[in-house]
Amino acid sequence: MSSTDSKPIKVRSILIGGAILGLAAVGIAVTGIASRAQSEADLSTWTADQAILTVTVVTPKHGQAEDFLTLPGTIRAFSTASIYPRATGYIKAWTVDIGARVKAGAVLATIESPELDQQLMQARGALTSAEANAKLASVTAGRWSDLAKTYAVSDQARDEKTFDASAKMAMMEAAKSAVHRLEDLAAFKNLTAPFDGIVTARNVDIGNLVSADGTTSKPLFEISDIHTVRVYVRVPQAFLGGLKSGLKATLDLPQYPNTHFSATLVSTSNAVSEDTRSALVELHAENTADKLWPGAFTEVEFHLPSDPKMLLVPTTALIFEREGVKVAKLGPDGHVTIEPVGLGRNLGTDVEVTSGIALGDRIVDNPSEALQTGDAVHVADAPGNGTPVKPM
């Protein structure tokens, strides 16, 4: 084959190769454009899906026949007496310490008061003198009265002796009162318990100077009657309507984690504090085991009567807006409707709803602030009420 014949063949081969390469490049470009378009479509779909909120839903439930309200309370002794000195002197001895059980009239401590003893002796001496003077004046008045009958003395002289006798009798009675007062004060040298109870404080020791003029800042002893204790609780205004005398409650103390104590409501203050919008209530609890100490903190769980037909929803499902309280209902089409509701009592984790919802409604729990009426949402598989709800 000549050289002139081979040139057309080479040119034709080059053209065919170029065409193949061009077609390959076009194919690659088309494939790339299609792949990019698909990626953009997938991204758009993913972005749209991400814009739809995923929520959990709860369904309203009926309340129980008995609700429980837990509030902090303080335990107080049924009766407490602070023992202050009524006689001035030095502590001679004390006979009981904290924790001791005492009976009414038991001597707690004795006070040595030399000044009081001297005053009492002086008052008794003055009484003896006043009694003698009164007796002499009475005898003299009687004799002068007899002499006046025979006109041996004047009526004026008789009256003077009679009135002098009356004055001496009055002085004698005053001297008796002074002695009785000092004897009563001397009796206070023995500090005694006013009732059966337990010594909960002792602020005195031998040799301490105590004063009856009120300058002693602390009581020498404190006696508490704790066979029954009082429990004071401040109850919010919303729950006061259900608190009646005889209502039962349970006490839980941190030092007794597995022990519950029974208490009974006995009275309320019948006044609401303007600062806290709560009222003070008093309960009584028997303390036969002496485990309830005055001043202790306790959790008080009230057993409140309730309407079992009342619907409850978690407090986390509520939406607080300027127009009032609302909830987000999920419709059968997967879209949300924000609707107002009426509320009853707040039970802590749950709240009573008096209007605006029905038993079978699906309520969005923990709704986002961005959630609006008409928004579509995804529903999580595990709602807060424990009942599986499939996504719409």
Q: Give the residue from 305, 334, 369 where a domain finishes.
A: 305
Amino acid at 220: L
What count of Cα atoms within 13 Å lies in the side-chain half-sphere of residue 200? 17
Residue 100 belongs to some domain of the structure = yes
Judgement on whether residues 160 and 96 belong to the same structural domain of the protein: yes
Residue 161 belongs to some domain of the structure = yes
- According to DSSP, the β-strands at 53-58 and 377-379 are parallel
Judgement on whether residues 58 and 92 belong to the same structural domain of the protein: no
Tally of CB atoms within 10 A around 35: 10
- Identify any residues that bridge with 69 across adjacent strands, giving them in sequence order: 302
Q: What is the pLDDT of residue 30?
A: 56
Residue 215 belongs to some domain of the structure = no
Residue 75 belongs to some domain of the structure = no
CB-count burial class (<10 Å; 0-12, 13-18, 19+) for 111: buried
**113 is written with which tokens?**
């008061």
Judgement on whether residues 156 and 252 belong to the same structural domain of the protein: no
Cα-atom radius of gyration of the chain, to the nearest Å? 48
Residue 297 domain boundaries:
224-305
CB 137 within 8 A of CB 165: yes
Q: Give the residue from 249, 270, 305 where a domain finishes.
A: 305
Measured CA to CA, the distance from residue 68 to residue 216 in angstroms comes to: 47
Q: pTM here?
A: 0.60
Q: What is the pLDDT of residue 46?
A: 47
Measured CA to CA, the distance from residue 303 to residue 172 in angstroms comes to: 67
**pLDDT 10s digits, 341-357:** 998 877 778 888 988 88
Residue 391 belongs to some domain of the structure = no
Measured CA to CA, the distance from residue 231 to residue 40 in angstroms comes to: 70
Q: What is the pLDDT of residue 389?
A: 41
Q: What is the pLDDT of residue 239?
A: 84
The list of the chain residues with pLDDT below 70 reads 1-51, 65-66, 214-216, 381-392
